[in-house]
Chains A and B, each alone.
Chain A
Amino acid sequence: MTGRKPGHDTVRLLSVEAESRLFLRLRATLAWETIRSMFRDSRLRLTLVVLLSSMFWGSLYGLFVEAFAFLDDLHADVISLLFNAFFSSLMMMLVFSTGILAYGGMYCSPEARLLLTLPARAEIIHAHKFKEALWFSSWGFVLLGSPMLAAYGVVRHSAWPYFLLMLPFMIAFVVIPAAIGSMCCILLVAWLPRLRLHALSVSAIAVCVAAVWVGWSTCSQIQLDTMSAAWFERTFARLAVTEQKFLPSWWLSSGLIEAARTDRDGRMSAGGLSEAVKFLSLLVANAMVLQLFAGWLARLAYRRGYSQLCGEVPARRRRRQGWFDRFLGAAGFAAGRPLRLLLVKDLRLFRRDISQWSQFVIFFGLLGLYFLNLRSFGYNNVYASMIGFLNLAVVGLILSTFTTRFVYPMISLEGRRFWILRLLPVHRDQIVWSKFIFSFAGGLLPCCSLVLLSDSMLGIPWRLVAQHELCCVILCMGLSGIAVGLGARMPELRESSPAKISSGFGGTLSLVISSLFIMIVVILAAAPTHLFLVANTLGPGFVAPSGMLAWAGGPWGTAVSLTLIVAVGLLATFVPLYLGLRAFRVLEA
């Protein structure tokens, strides 16, 4: 055993600074390469994201300008209350979302496993993964918060330092709940491994129940006295809990309100600036201290927690065949049995994949909650109809995100199992049809129920309810056809991640076509109804539509619009399916 000595004489442990720099370089290289590949490979997606985000930002900005102008006339204290309520609820959400993202990044990712086998400090690995979790959890906050704060500054005619201070305020603020979330995550994993799931579930349920209670009690008692003095008093009393001075959300809102203050000449007031800087310093100091605590905790408990988690025995889960699976497998003619068995398989995969059904439940649940609160406000027929159609569009848009995210990749995900399907006595068309039926039948019940709920809360007449339900059926059918058809036309059989499949060119195209389809259906349905209601509801002094417009608003116009909706629905369903079936028949995998 002679010769070269293994080279630990040439290696050394890095200093904290050098290690931090190395991880920063890694992050920068990864970010740069991700941006480059987005420009190179996903231009359509990038353009859509930028375009839709700008539209979203602009719409929010316009909405907030109107709202602040209205509230500014009404009462200045309302602004402070609104800021506190908004930022404190976002703070809670950031604690949870960063905690969950930090858990995924620090304990479940292959990268963490690689880094923990290298001579890297636990606290530096934590800082590296914390930045990632912070970015993913807080971009929504910036997208929602920045138009609101910009609109506030514009309405208040604030001086430029206010706009300059906005970003540092927001960054300093988001670090605080994010650090708390990541610390909770480390503590739970390291010291409460068995309680982790229960603790998380109980906290999540408690927060949801509290949010629902606050929302319900705030909205349900509001009937016809909306915006009255009594209504304001009641709402103020309920939201006063968010105005605690120890909350970072209070520091943020107070600091921003101070920064927006101007003197008579329209310049930033000296008192306001010093107060704003004081609150900003408070936020920055707390953010830094909490990051130090989080680093210290990671040094103490990250590796231990990772080991705890590796040591957990996955529960052995035995699944029995459910009654519905048995029913679906046995019901009907023998000829359709392969199709039904494919449906049963997809249904089982959906049921056992928590990420799919939980998102389905959360989105449709939140929408249901919003619809339940619609009765709190009084509407005339025109507004009720307009809101009804907007709700129909929202239901369609949410369904389209699901069909794009979960249904579009279904054919691609068969890629690695494609040889099984090819060896089965199943015609390839049946595979595509089974996905279509699965998506169509799965979306129909929740979507139609939600539209019915929305219409009944708005007190919409039965004729319009029937029209909405028809549109909803058409939307479910068309969106399923688009997602399944394009999924079969452009499969990515080598990709195993549904997220990557749906975010590629085909997935983006599916989302764009789905959105256009929803817009066309809703506009075709809404236009004649809206004109009809305008002509029959508004009082004297209003010039009722005449000529073409009157015809469009009449029964013939409605009949034509319904015929067009059905035609568009059939086209949106069967053209992509035809293209998909044709491509899938000759696909070689």
Chain B
Amino acid sequence: MIEFDHVSRTFGPKTAVSDLTLAIARGELFALLGPNGAGKTTTIRMLVGLLHPSRGAVRVCGHDLVKDARGAHLHLGYVPDEPCLYDKLTGREFLWFIADMFGMPRRQANSRIDREIEHFELGEFADDLSESYSLGMKQRLVFAASFLHDPSVLVLDEPMVGLDPRSVRIVKDLLAARTREGMTVFMSTHTLAMAEEMADRVGIMVRGQLRFLGTVAELREQMALEATTLEHLYLEITSPRGRQP
């Protein structure tokens, strides 16, 4: 569903992402980890088409993000780290705009909007202008919008920022349910516990390079460290003098 084919991205003299090759299958939840400045945000931006790769290609469901951006976006849902909404639209109006943008038939759009409002417990404020929302409310609305068209691929950039514990649980349950139904999730996060709990595979990026790719069990095996947490493994890999898998 997601393919990074020898992708590199340079910013002037600096290489943010170097020769990234990665394929993520249908129904997989993939977590991209790495310290600040490792290239996670650049990777996410290339995956949602905001940034073009300097070399290589990024494809979603077979659609190249540069050559056929609209085709790829039809299959994508995106939850950015900072939610962007229209201050002068209500939550419901925003969901209708997204549903219309994906060309959903009206009856179906109506039922999907009700469904997501219920899932994310937006009912109390769905008809208020979003300028009055707190950060957590905005983030829940963005989640609802990204799930609205049942995307094949969901891209999450630091998804839990601003969410209260109950909303975090809702999101986790939904992600688990939707991946079982075949949705692919690409998530960038610093919350290692969440990655350990939810991800089928993790990728650890350091200075633009994918230093490790596999399951947490494989990482433990490669690092020859039994019964240790992902946090220990992560710190070992990302430390300048740490061991390499």
Contacts and interface: CB of A to CB of B under 8 A. Distances in A.
Contacts of A1: 26-27, 180-182
A306 interface: yes
A307 to B, nearest CB: 4
B149 A10 contact: yes
B151 A6 contact: yes
Contacts of B123: none
Interface in B100-119: 100-105, 108
Contact of B102 (A11, A114, A304, A310): A11
Contact of A303 (B12, B69, B151, B182): B69
Given A13-B70, A117-B49, A306-B50, A18 B86 contact: no
Main SS class of interface, B: loop
A18 B99 CA distance: 13
B241 interface: no
Contacts of A113: 50, 80, 84
Interface in A320-343: none
A307 B54 CA distance: 10
Contacts of A30: 86, 88-89
Interface stretch (A118-126, A195-203, A424-432): A118-126
B59 to A, nearest CB: 15
B86 A307 contact: no
A5 B61 CA distance: 14
A509 interface: no
Interface string B1-19: 0000000011110100000
Contacts of A11: 74, 102-104, 149
Contacts of B74: 8, 11-13, 119
Nearest to A111: B84
B84 A110 contact: yes
Contacts of B52: 303-304, 307
Interface in B76-95: 76, 78, 80, 82, 84, 86, 88-89, 93
Contacts of B98: 118
A120 B71 CA distance: 10
B51 interface: yes
A313 interface: yes
B132 to A, nearest CB: 11
Interface string A19-30: 000100110011
A310 B103 contact: no
A313 B102 contact: no
A33 B181 contact: no
B69 A5 contact: no
Contacts of B10: 311
B152 interface: yes
A3 interface: yes
B93 A119 contact: no
A183 B174 CA distance: 44
A539 interface: no
B129 A33 contact: yes
A16 to B, nearest CB: 12
Nearest to B61: A8
A4 interface: yes
Interface in A10-65: 10-14, 18, 22, 25-26, 29-30, 33-34, 37
B150 interface: yes
A11 B76 CA distance: 11
Nearest to A30: B88
A422 to B, nearest CB: 23
B76 A117 contact: yes
B73 interface: yes
A457 interface: no
A355 to B, nearest CB: 21
Interface in B52-74: 52, 61, 69-71, 73-74
B11 A312 contact: yes
A116 interface: yes
A114 B83 CA distance: 9
B172 interface: no
B11 A4 contact: no
Interface in A257-309: 303-304, 306-307
B183 A3 contact: no
Contact of A310 (B12, B45, B75): B45
Interface in A91-118: 110-111, 113-114, 116-118
Contacts of B183: 6
A265 to B, nearest CB: 52
A110 B86 CA distance: 10
B73 A119 contact: yes
A547 interface: no
A3 B27 CA distance: 11
B137 interface: no
Nearest to B47: A117
Given A13-B74, A306-B50, A310-B50, A7 B149 contact: yes
Contact of A14 (B49, B101, B150): B101
Contact of B105 (A10, A306, A310): A10
Nearest to A115: B101
B73 A118 contact: yes
Given A310-B50, A311-B9, A119 B101 contact: yes
Among A2, A18, A110, A310, max chain B CB count under 10 A is at A310
B48 interface: yes
5 closest Cβ pairs, A-B complex: A7-B150, A12-B103, A33-B88, A110-B84, A119-B73
Given A307-B51, A311-B10, 18 more contacts: A1-B27, A1-B181, A1-B182, A4-B182, A6-B152, A7-B150, A10-B108, A11-B104, A29-B88, A33-B88, A33-B129, A110-B82, A117-B50, A118-B102, A119-B102, A307-B50, A310-B45, A313-B11
14 contacts: A1-B27, A4-B182, A7-B150, A8-B61, A8-B150, A10-B105, A11-B102, A11-B103, A111-B84, A117-B50, A117-B76, A307-B52, A310-B51, A311-B10
Interface of A: 1-8, 10-14, 18, 22, 25-26, 29-30, 33-34, 37, 110-111, 113-114, 116-121, 303-304, 306-307, 310-313
